């Protein structure tokens, strides 16, 4: 009888440890996902700023064509 109780306790403990590990893995995965998303947002903002600066520089360098006539 003691053996079955010990086995049940061992199974319960193994399940508990597995759930704890899954929770830690989930937290880590979420943190990595959030960090990647933040990096994407920062990169997008940087590239947008560069594009807008490039477009603004082109507009000042190239005069607009006046087709009135």
What residue has token string 């704890």? 20
Whole-prediction pTM value? 0.61
Q: How much is the pLDDT for 19?
A: 97
Residue range 22-47, pLDDT digits in tens: 999 999 999 999 999 999 999 999 99
Mean pLDDT computed over every residue of the chain: 91
Is the pLDDT score of 64 beyond 70?
no
d(CA 63, CA 46): 27
Mean local confidence (pLDDT), 9-28:
97
| % of the chain beyond a pLDDT of 90 | 80
User: What is the rounded CA–CA span in Å between residue 30 and residue 5?
Assistant: 37
């Amino acid at each position: 009888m003691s053996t079955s109780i010990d086995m049940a306790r061992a199974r319960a403990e193994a399940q508990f440890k597995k759930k704890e590990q899954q929770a830690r893995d989930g937290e880590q995965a979420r943190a990595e996902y959030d960090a990647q998303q933040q990096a994407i947002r920062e990169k997008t903002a940087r590239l947008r700023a560069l594009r807008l600066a490039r477009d603004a520089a082109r507009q000042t360098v190239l005069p607009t064509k006046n087709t009135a006539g």
